[in-house]
Amino acid sequence: MKTQVAIIGGGPAGLLLCRKLMRLGISAVILERHSREHVTSRIRAGVLEAGTVRQLHDAGVAQRLEKEGLEHSGVCLSDGRSAFRVNFRKLAGKPVTVYGQTEITRDLYDALDNDGADIRHRCPVVEINNTDTTRPNLRYLANGRQHVINCDFVVACDGYHGVGRKFLPEHRKRDFEHCFPYGWLGILSETPPIHGELIYSRSKHGFALASMRSDQLSRYYIQVAAYEKPENWSDEDFWTEFRRRLPPADAERLQTGPSIEKSVAVLRAFVCRTLRHGRLFLCGDAGHIVPPTGAKGLNLAASDVHYAYNALSDYYLNGNTDAIEAYSGLALGRVWLAMRFSWWMTNMLHPEPEQSSFANQLQEAEFDQLRKLRSMQKVFARNYTGLPY
């Protein structure tokens, strides 16, 4: 089989790129190793930068987002005793939008189904060849048999554990990585959020985040050890610990209920040295992972799609390869800026295990600077709402 662009991964990045390419008349095939039911059942974050929202509009898949998305003009930060608000509209001139990644995935699937897109599930890719030539190809499994797709380009949107990155040449596989000694225990509950905007809380008991998916669906997190298991926590234990990490006024408003999902996310930072080799592109988690503090993961995947789409469209419409050559540098430039912000925010808000009193005082001083200085809040707002592409 022959196509112009072979996309590995049926998550939001792969689906969004496919949708944008098809609207331009560029043929694409998506290969996803899991079932569609598995892909659309995964619980992920949903704080969208203005640039991500704009891309969804450009792709013609923002109708439901416009109706159901929650526009947030700021966030609250707390030290466990009191809180202050960073106003995005005043300081950055734009909001963020809360709309679950699962919903984005469903919207993209619906649109691509209407397009008649070629999306192949339970089709793991086993080999990628000839990416340093003009005729790359990949092999995948379907129903126990190997199949081949010949293409012009391969775009791997298949996540940190995917195969795409493994087929970079060895000399280009230098990775930058750091694992934090803690994770986030998160629950989803059918309860109204305690606040109209997100609350990031730093307390002596550890970090907590109050988020939401809708006005009747809350997503809450607490800092736990990296090796912690969700089954070790009852709902009652979670609510008790979550409540004591919040400012008293917010703790009073908390409504509890049974969790409908519970999981632990280990915090790590990872960046691949390059996001392109020849005609193989990496997008999203295939090339980088940021700590969830600051909500940059999905948004960086969307910015990678922006740069990849620009490169591919310029090639097919104008025969120009300049944007292809520039892809990795442009995408990684934005990735490292987002990494710096997420790293800073993570280290300010999370006490380390057995942290010294000196380190704790430095965290408090950093937090106090953010509370008092408008200039720091302005930098925070610009980074949180999304730097320009």
Number of domains in the chain: 1
151 in a domain, yes or no? yes
The pLDDT mean for the chain works out to 95
Helices 12-23 and 50-58 pack at an angle, to 10 degrees, of 40
Residue ranges making up the domain that contains 146: 5-50+100-177+269-345
Domain presence at residue 208: no
Instruction: Please check whether residue 88 lies inside any domain of the structure.
Output: no
**Whole-model pTM?**
0.94
Examine residue 164 and state whether it is found in any structural domain, yes or no.
Answer: yes
Average pLDDT on 207-235 reads 94
Active centre residues (catalytic):
72, 200, 292, 296, 384
106-119 residue pLDDT tens = 999 999 999 999 99
Is 133 among the domain residues? yes
Choose the weakest-confidence range: 9-13, 30-34, 215-219, 328-332.
215-219
> Would you place residue 82 in the very low, low, confident or very high pLDDT band (cuts 50, 70, 90)?
confident
pLDDT of residue 81: 84
The 10 Å Cβ neighbour count of residue 113 is 10
Please indicate, yes or no, if residue 42 is contained in any of the structural domains: yes
Band of the pLDDT at 90, cuts 50, 70, 90?
very high
**pLDDT at residue 330 above 80?**
yes
Q: Is the pLDDT of residue 304 over 80?
A: yes
- The alpha-carbon radius of gyration of the chain (Å, integer) is 21
Rounded to whole angstroms, how far apart are CA atoms 321 and 323?
Answer: 6
In the block, tokens 């025969």 appear at: 319
- The answer on pLDDT for 346 being more than 90 is yes
Q: Which two tokens stand for residue 72?
A: 């947030």
Dihedral in degrees, nearest 10, Cα atoms 105, 108, 109, 110: 120
**Which pLDDT score, from 0 to 100, does residue 334 have?**
97
CB atoms inside a 10 Å sphere around CB 388: 8
3 state DSSP class of 267: strand
215 in a domain, yes or no?
no
Query: Residue 170: pLDDT above 90?
Result: no
pLDDT for 357: 93
**294: CB partners within 8 A, 6+ apart:** 338, 341, 342, 345, 346, 383, 384
What is the residue whose two structure tokens read 């098809």?
A: 22
* CB distance 277 to 218 below 8 Å: no
What does 329-340 look like in DSSP terms, one character per residue? HHHHHHHHHHHH
Residue 313 included in any domain:
yes
CATH for 39: 3.50.50.60
